[in-house]
Structure 1
Amino acid sequence: MVLVPVAVLLAAALALLLPGDRLAPGARHTGTGAAPVPLARVPSGFFTGSDAVGVRRIAGVEAWLGGTSLRVGHTYLPGDRWSNIEGHPELFGPWARWKAAAPGRLFVLNVPMMDRNEAGLADDEVRAGLRRGADGAFDRHFRALGEGLVGAGLADAVLVPGWEMNGTTYGHRCGPDPAAWKAYWRRIAGVLRAVPGQRFRLDFTPSRGRDAIPWPECYPGDDVVDIIGMDAYDQPAGLSFEGQVGEEYGLAHHVAFARAHGKPVSYPEWGLFRNGDNPAYVRGMLDWFAAHRPVYQTVTDYCPHGVWECRDNPRSAAVVRGALGAPARP
């Protein structure tokens, strides 16, 4: 893979991808007023829980938005043990019924690449696991996952394997061995795409910014990636939205990288964090979605990130309702 220089990526994002009335680095957001570009064509969702209760909560968010229909259902496979990474009918069933209830709904599933994924594995353990995965040791688990999804009626799911791989949180992180990580991701893609009846789309999703390793160093290749996503929370403390756009490996770099590789973008996770109730950040993200039309975007809706279930962010909640809510009837 040929890496595109950062300066070229940023120039492409700003010159080619941002319309004149959209936010660019150096512009300011006040967090007031309606979104300049309607977001109705951007499939949107709220993460409200992984189980059947989470599915039922979607109706509560829709009511809060004034009747807007959310088109994205997003959940996560537990990463504690391989049997959970394979999935099970108790998880898939409620989501399959939700998806089948209305046309145009999209199911997004984050897939751990390791068991004990949040157990604080040392780099040596991660490296060994990545190499075993690249050699095919875990193929049967991903084959079982794919077959379970197809059998449940979720054959067209968007799958997000190894999300936020550029950080240190998860056992499926890339940093200890980027070459093995990429080979393992490619192996998983091959196993999933060999499942009869599948129409999966695979989403490569780092977290915004550099973190522990530059995320382009983990990119597994255009032939196995369908969507290039980004998890983008409001952090660190004091960084403006404009800074999040222009930072190294930030929002502008992400959009330009995706354009250079001929891929659409997504935002599987975003929300408030280190800067509290920050309507300027929320306005910036919503304007960004309106400008760049991601495949989907999903608000992480528990505290401190959220705006519906979390009541700590009323000003940001008002911005979300104004942008995503149903128009008031005359």
Structure 2
Amino acid sequence: MPRPHHRLVSTCVGTVTAGLLATGAALAAPDDEPARGSGTAFGAYLDYGPSGVARIPSLSRWLGGREIRVGHTYLPGDSWAGIEGRVPFLEDWARWRRAKEDRMFVLNVPLQARNEGRVPDWQVVQLIRAGAQGEYDRHFRRLAERLVELGVPDTVVVLGWEMNGTTYTHRCGPDPENWKAYWTRVVNTMRSVPGQRFKFDFTPNRGTDAIPWTRCYPGDDVVDVIGMDSYDQGPGRTFDDHVSQPYGLQQHVDFAKAHGKEISYPEWGLFRNGDNPEYVRRMLRWIDQHHPLYHTITDYCPHGVWQCKQNPKSSKAFRDALAEQGPVVVPTPVVPTPVVPTPVVPTPVVPTPVVPTPVVPTPDVPTPQVPTPQIPTPEVPTPPVPTPEVPTPPVPTPEVPSPTAPTPVAPEPEVSVPPVVPPAPTPEASPTPAPTQAVPDPAPTRPAPTPSQPPKPQPKPDPKPRPQQPVNSTQWCLPFDFGDWLSKLIGGQSLCIGLGFGWEGDSGFWPF
């Protein structure tokens, strides 16, 4: 049973319907019609590189075979090399575009390097003025030449997008007049490259944002398409707010029409309000009504409806609106063809005699089972192996002999014996030279021991010195051996006798 307020609603609806029928105004407003998916070129941003190209066929299958005609990517704005198109993924997109004549390649191109570097306004002013004076012309000429070389001279260039906001370094707000001069210089530079057929898309954010986007519009001569990025976020809480707000969807359409330009929606999708199927349906109906050149939904979380699984209701609304239904097939009536029965002549079947094959029984010969003897494995005791004790030989300490200094033997003094007067010489006696004083041997020097080697023993002096016969002496010395004990007592081992002959002075020396 319906609730009271449901009955009231039903009654009101019935009354309004009756009134409309009575007045002949049975047509619904355009926004109330279901979105059918127009013939506008449709695409999605799936990724900037080769994976974005590879995902296009999968999105097409998800939409029941709906053809994806728009490929959309962005050049990196971190350096001028990226803005010049010196990135390998451009080749993948160009190859996809060339595969079919009716395809469209949309390329977002930054106007400044460090495009997301949070550059302050005073520095943005300097960059804008440098661009307006032509300091960056060479970068955009190289980009145009590269696109022509890749075979995509009809690329739609979304130049300096969302310029009315605060996100990017290529924003317009700090110096709108020089920004427009900069845009004009870039467009003329790229158009000067032979073979190009570019379309330049001027695409602000929906709404006022930091500056009304109409103040940044550079002129009809350098703009081919007027686009708008419109996500499910403020300003405005409902889709009707998005339409009617200043610089919103309606003013976008009116402005483009006043300037004789086509419109586009390079970026749109869910955002601040979560899974909102009403926004998706209303946006698709808006596109159906105003026939833009192209539109591409941003398909990654939180904006997307195919790759992002957190928006299932919006995903269903999108698929229901854009899925390819296929042509209506009218069944062709089938006229039955009369079948004339053909008489069947039976073919006689001659039975083939079956000759039985004798079966020779195979005797079962029992296989004797020979028991396998079990050989016991003898247990061999493992004798304990004693660990030999290796004696540690004592290391002998070499005895270093202490050097012993030889004790020198002092020569004992000679005991002089009084001369004995010999008898008178005979003529045959030969003169004897006078004895000289005996010089004792010097005392041996004590050797100093060296630490590196033991001292060499010194030879001991002869304990029995032999006195030599003095030269030209008047004594006659004869050696006598008295033995050791007597030699030590008398201190000598020779006996000398003095001779005198009475001439040659007192010596008594006989010259013969």
Higher helix share: 1
**Percent identity between the aligned chains?**
56
Instruction: Report the CA distance shift for 1:213/1:238 in structure 2 as closer, same or farther (over 3 A).
Output: closer
* Aligned amino acid, residue 247 of structure 2: Y
- State the partner residue of 1:210: 208
Distance 1:237 1:325 in 2: 31
* Residue type at the aligned position of 1:82: W
**1:22: which partner in 2?**
30
8 Å CA contact 1:34, 1:319 repeated in 2 = no
In structure 2, the CA distance between the partners of 1:238 and 1:227, relative to structure 1 (3 Å rule), is: closer
Q: Is 1:228–2:236 an aligned residue pair?
A: no
Picking from 309, 312, 318, the partner of 1:311 is 309
Instruction: Return 295-304 or 234-243, whichever deviates more.
Output: 234-243
Matching of residue 294 in structure 1 with residue 292 in structure 2:
yes
Do the aligned residues in 2 keep the contact of 1:237 with 1:274 (CA within 8 Å)? no
The secondary structure found in structure 1 opposite 2:174 is: coil
- Size of the aligned set, in residue pairs, is 302
TM-score, normalized by length of structure 2? 0.58
CA distance in 2, matches of 1:181, 1:238: 28
Higher-RCO chain (CA-CA 8 Å, sequence separation at least 6): 1
Assess if the C-alpha contact under 8 Å between 1:50 and 1:76 holds in 2. yes
CA distance in 2: counterparts of 1:129 and 1:238, whole angstroms: 33
Match for residue 47 of structure 2? 49
- Aligned partners of 2:140 and 2:255: how far apart in 1? 28
Q: For residues 295 and 270 of structure 1, what CA distance do their matches in structure 2 show? A: 15
User: Deviation per CA, 1:172-197, whole angstroms, max 9, x where unpaired?
Assistant: 00000000110000001100110110
Provide the residue aligned with 2:267 in structure 1.
269
8 Å contact from structure 1 (residues 265, 295) kept in 2: yes
State how far apart, in whole Å, the 2-side matches of 1:288 and 1:59 are.
26
For residues 2-41 of structure 1, the C-alpha deviation after alignment (integer angstroms, 9 at most, x for no partner) is xxxxxxxxxxxxxxxxx97323xxxxx7xxx841xx4241
Q: Hey, what does 1:248 align to over in structure 2? A: 246
Pick one of 198, 201, 208 that aligns with 1:200: 198
Could you tell me which amino acid in structure 2 is paired with residue 276 of structure 1?
Answer: G
1:135-146 maps to which residues of 2 (within 5 A)?
135-146=133-144
Structure 1 runs of 4+ aligned residues shifted over 3 Å read none
Q: Deviations over 1:41-97 (max 9, x none)?
A: 110001000111111011111111111110000000000000000012512111111
CA apart distance, 1:323: 1.3
Q: 1:280 aligns with which of 256, 278, 285?
A: 278
Q: Aligned-pair distance for 1:325?
A: 1.0
Gaps of at least 5 residues in structure 1 are: 1-18, 24-28
Q: What secondary structure is seen at the aligned counterpart in 2 of 1:168?
A: coil
What residue is the counterpart of 1:15 in the other structure?
none
| Aligned counterpart, 2:469 | none
Do the aligned partners of 2:207 and 2:235 also contact (CA within 8 Å) in 1?
no
Paired AA for residue 190 in structure 1? N
Partner of 2:117: 119
Q: CA deviation at 1:237?
A: 8.0
Aligned match of 2:319 in 309, 318, 321?
A: 321
CA distance in 2, matches of 1:292, 1:133: 35
The one-letter code matched in structure 2 to 1:108 is V
Residues 146-225 of structure 1 aligned to structure 2 (within 5 Å) = 146-225=144-223
2:233 touches 2:271 (CA, 8 Å); kept in 1? yes
AA partner of residue 103 (structure 2) = R
Does the alignment pair 1:91 with 2:89?
yes
Larger Rg: 2
For 1:43-82, list aligned pairs within 5 A.
Answer: 43-82=41-80
SS in 2 for 1:192: helix
Q: Which moved more, 1:143-152 or 1:311-320?
A: 311-320
- The DSSP-based 3-state class of the residue aligned with 1:207 is coil
Of 310-319 and 136-145, the range deviating more from structure 2: 310-319
Question: 1:51 & 1:57 partners in 2: Cα distance?
Answer: 11
Please give the TM-score of this superposition, normalised by the length of structure 1: 0.89
Q: Over the residues paired in the alignment, what is the CA RMSD in angstroms?
A: 1.6
Distance 1:219 1:87 in 2: 25
Query: How far apart are residue 103 of structure 1 and its match?
Result: 2.3
CA, structure 1 residues 179+238, in 2 after alignment: closer, same or farther (shift >3 Å)? closer
Residues 202 and 225, structure 2, Cα contact 8 Å, conserved in 1 = yes
Contact 1:96 1:154 in 2 (8 A): yes
Per the TM alignment, residue 328 of structure 1 is displaced from its structure 2 partner at its CA by: 5.7
| CA distance in structure 2 between the partners assigned to 1:291 and 1:256 by the alignment | 13
State whether residues 77 and 83 of structure 2, in contact with CA within 8 Å, keep that contact through their aligned partners in structure 1.
yes
* SS of the residue 1:223 aligns to: helix
